[in-house]
Structures are given as structure tokens and as C-alpha cells.
Structure 1
Amino acid sequence: MTVISIPNRTGIFSIAVLEAFVTIALNSFLLGLCAKIPKQARNQLHICYTFLAASDLMNGVYLLLLSASFFFVDTYIFKNYSVCLSVITISSAGPTTTGYLLILMTAIKSFSVVCPLESMQFITRTAAFCLSSAVWIISYAVIIIPTIFWARKNDIPLYEECDIRAAYQDKFKQFLTLALVLGCCFIAGVLIFNSFILLKINRMNKIGIQRDKKSNPSSVNRMDRKSPEKKNSPEKNEVRKSRYEKPQLNEQIAQINTKKIDSKKSKNFKAYFTVLLQIGLYILCGFPYFLVLTNQKLQIYYYNDRNVRFVCSLFVFLTSLINPILTVIRIPAFNKTLRKIFRVNVL
């Protein structure tokens, strides 16, 4: 097997390999942490995070294969059309799966915020496992099934480097259109589910303000000012005292209810905000790809320069490196388990 590399790609290749190994290491660590969480502490979201970590781990492996095809362009194995098509297909399906797992997690959080009682009944751990598996299968199927129809019928050696253009040949633009449609569906899902959550939070905050207004004792004070001549009556003093105590009690109850309604301080909102951060980073990492596909002037560079196409892919895979870091830092079950392991093994 002859291995011939391209020297001017060494820098990009080194960055890609480093990103891939760090991604594999972080997500392997996160999967180990998932196994250490006690069963009674695991909820539906932790199951989704386990699937997300597994998807991100595989993305690290896919990035290694894609980097090898980018750097060792004249290696015999990457000149085989079936091998090249397989590498390009799985390296496209992996990030798609990560994105739609994040959409699933947003949908679960949206359902739990909008319909908390129904979510406890229907979104069980078994349901979360089945939904995550279904999203995984569908995400791969959406990429693999069109690839089967778009692939060349005859398996002949490639006379150009293994890339998305070589893999799809004259169906290259159809594949880019598919990627654009999947990206638009992702954005639509983000907007829909987050709008449900924000509307619910806004309504809950309005209820808290209304309860606070109802507990305002100013009306009682005005009533008491109308009869100053009866202040010394013992019976009236008792009535007046009860009038003052009742609104004060109502005000305290309203404050407690307002704290309950202030969902921004709840664990549920923190978990939702973590998913929102991950989605935001996923969109940010995919923005160069989206910008190139929607701008005709930039498409020329994308079509003609393999370096541009590979760097866009690097940005897309970057989200698989960031996800485990955010998960460990933001999700209480993970960082508590990590601190517990650290105390047991180090201290």
C-alpha cells in the first residue's frame, strides 16, 4: 500500500487529528461518567446525554477517517470507491445525528415545561431510550438511503482524491440540497420548541405578578383610614389586627408562589439552558457550512477547493468536542458524580 501525503495540508491535518483525539477522549470520559451515575439519579435527559456522548464519540472516529482521506490522498484504500463513499457517508450522518439528538432533548424539555404532569406520565426512561434510538436510526437513514440511490453503479477506482465530490459525482448538488433541507428542519425545530418554552415561562411570570398585586394591602389601609374615631374600640382593634395580618399572610404566600413560578432558578430551567447552549454552539459551528451553501459567490470556492470543504467539516465536528465539556460543567448529576470520584480517588 502506497502512502503519499500532501505537505501543504500538514497544518490543517494536525489540527483535525488533535480535534478528533480530544473529542474521542472527552466523550469516552463522559460515557464512563454516565455509567457511574447511580440508577436512582438517572432521568430521561441523562439517557439522551448518553446517546449524545456515544454519537459524539463516533464523530471523533469519523473525523479521523475523514482526515486520513484528506491528507493521504493517493493511498490505495481511499482510491476504492466503496471505501470512499462509506467514509463520506458516515462523516455526514454523524453530525446530523448529534444535531437531531439535541432537537429531541429540546422537545423533551419543552414538553416537561409546558405539560409537566403529562411529561412525567409519558416521557419515561424507557420512552427516552426508544426516542433516542429512533432519532439515531432515522438520522442515519436520511443520509444513507439517498446515498444508495445516488452512488455509482460500477465500483471502479477513483482518479481523484476521496471527497464528497468524488463520492457523489453528478449528484453532488443534490446532496448539498439535502444538507440544506436538514439544516432548515433543524432550525425550524429549534424555533418551534423554544417558542413553546418561552411562552410558558412568560405566562407563569405573569401569573406571579398578578398574585403579587392581589396580595397588596393598600385597599385595607384605605378602609381603616375612614374610621379614625373608632380606633380605641377593643373589638375594632381586633378586627383591624386581623385585617392587617391577613394581607401580610397573603403577601408571604404570594412571594413563595412567585419563587416557585420563577423557573429561571429551577434545575429544570438550568438543564434546558444547557441544551440551548449546546444547540447555539451547534448552529454556530455549522454556520460556515450554511453560509457557503447559501451564498453563490462562496459556493465557487467550496466547489473548487478541497481545503475549504474540509475546514467547513472541521467546524461542524467541533460541536462534538464542546458538548461533553458543557454537559459535565452544567448538568448537576454529572459534576456531582465527578466530584465524588475525585474525592474518593484523590483525597
Structure 2
Amino acid sequence: MEYRRLGATGLTVSPLCLGTWRFGKESNGMLETDRETARNLLDEAWDKGINFIDTANSYGGGKSEQWIGEWLADHDREDFVIASKVWWRTRGGPETSLSRKSIRLEIQGTLERLDTNYLDVYYIHRFDDGTPIREMLRTLDDLVREGTVRYLAASAGAGWKLTKALWQSDRENLERFEITQPRFNAAYREAVEDYLDVCADQELAVCPYSPLEGGFLTGKYDRNGDPPAGSRGDRYEWNDRFDERQWRVLEAVRAVAAKIGATPAQVALRWCMDRERFTCVPIVGARSVDQLEENAGSMELSLTDDQLRQITDAYGADAGGEQ
């Protein structure tokens, strides 16, 4: 497996990032991923060479960070690139904020739960229209200068807001965002075209969430079949959720997977990793060790230019250009 430079940063990461948003998350009174399963997933990720772990202060009400911190205590912290996020509040005050006070409170809680004295990557989970952008950027810049954070990042948001933040940082000689985390995959591109244009132009790394489009690109969906087990709604509701372009992409992914003896999920993840306009490190949030093992197989996969183009072109001419 070849590790890669994360955009213009000095960080070297695995081609996949382990997402931990399910750690400690309750759905209908049940934990999606409990502490034991979380530890097993972290073990499996490390065994497969994945050194990049993504979390957030809000995941599982803080349990995700806490469980990662407990696991890290048995490992060398320097072997890992740890990313967390801020926007939702876990320590009182307004529900969401990127004010100076909020960021300072939340980074303290994040470091305590992770049992570390620094973060490699710190994302803003959203842009905060209620806080002056200068206040937010100066506070984040202070964290980098103090050594609490190594690199800054931005998750979801409009392309123009990302551009504005980069311009403000450059204008005032502040640390800028170097990594982004949009929703992006082979079957979801046009909506983030402007955002990705900014990333490519400014040499920002892209770590997309939902690289399998919520499970759609695993191949478990069928145009004419019943919805997957556990899905809500009937066949027609699920079929209406995806448009014709997305079904064409899935068919192309399935065709390539069948030809090379891989799974659709592995092919779809490899397509993300092989973007040329920007460094792309997809975030996978597996539910089980077996699922993570399957996803990790994408790191050893090789697709030809023709196979990559087959998947890209399936999205159609109205895709807004090759991403």
C-alpha cells in the first residue's frame, strides 16, 4: 500500500480514512456501534495500515472521541493522524457556534476525551453565519500557533464561503484551510462541482464523506427489486431516491467490479482515490470488521484509465465536467 501526502500539508496518510460517526450513536434506543465493536474496528483499521482516523466532538455525544482516546492509550500517538471537528457545542451555551469562546471550550473537551495534547487536523463542521469569519479564523490560527492543532480544515459548506475564508486567511496572513470534507462520490458530483473547483485550484485535499452514497454504490440496491433489509419505504420510494445518472454509475461500477473480481464498494472507493485534480482520501464508516476488511481491499486495487473513464462517463455529459 502506498501512503500519500494529504494535499499541501506535511501529513502522510493511508488512502482511506476511518470514519467514526457511528461510535456511541444511538438510533431508536440502540447503539449503532458499541465500545467493543469500536475497538475491534480500530484494531482492524490499524492492522490494514489505516493511520487516518476521523471523529467529531458531537459524535456519540463525545463517546467517539473518548473511545478513540482509550484505544490510542495502547498505541504510539505519533503513528496516527487524528482529525476532529467543531461547530456543535458539548459544553453548554448555544447549540452551535464557531465563536472564540465556543472553539476554545470545545477544543479543550476534544483533547481531554482523546487524551492527547494536539490534533493533526481540526475541521469546522459547518460555517457559522452568526460569527464574524475573522473571529473564527483568528481563533483557529491561534490554535495552530500554540501547537494545539497542526492543520485546519473545513467540512460541509458552499464553495463561495470556502473561497471567502481562504481569501481572508491569505489577506491577514492566517493559517488557512488545507483539507475539506464534502459529500462526494462517483454517483454524487454535480452538486459539489463549484466546491471541488476551489479545492483543485487551491490544492486542498478532499476527504469525502459518504463515498459509497449511503450504501448505494455497494450494489445492494436494485432498480426492480425490493429495498435492502432494514430500509424504510417501499420499492418505489427507494427507486425515486436515485436518478437515472446514479443508476448508470452503479451499473458501470458493477460491470468493472465483475471484470476484475472485486466488489462494487471496492471499485467505487478506488474511483475516489484515483482523482487526479486533487488528493482524495475517502472516509469509510464501516458497521462491522468484515465490512471494513472489504473496504480496505480497495487500497490494493488497481483500475485502468479506461475503467475509471467508464465510471466517470456513466454520470453523463450533464455532470458538470470530470471531477
TM-score by length of 2: 0.23
The structure richer in helix per residue is 1
Q: Which has the larger radius of gyration?
A: 1
Q: Larger RCO: Structure 1 or Structure 2 (Cα < 8 Å, ≥ 6 residues apart)?
A: 1
The structure richer in strand per residue is 2
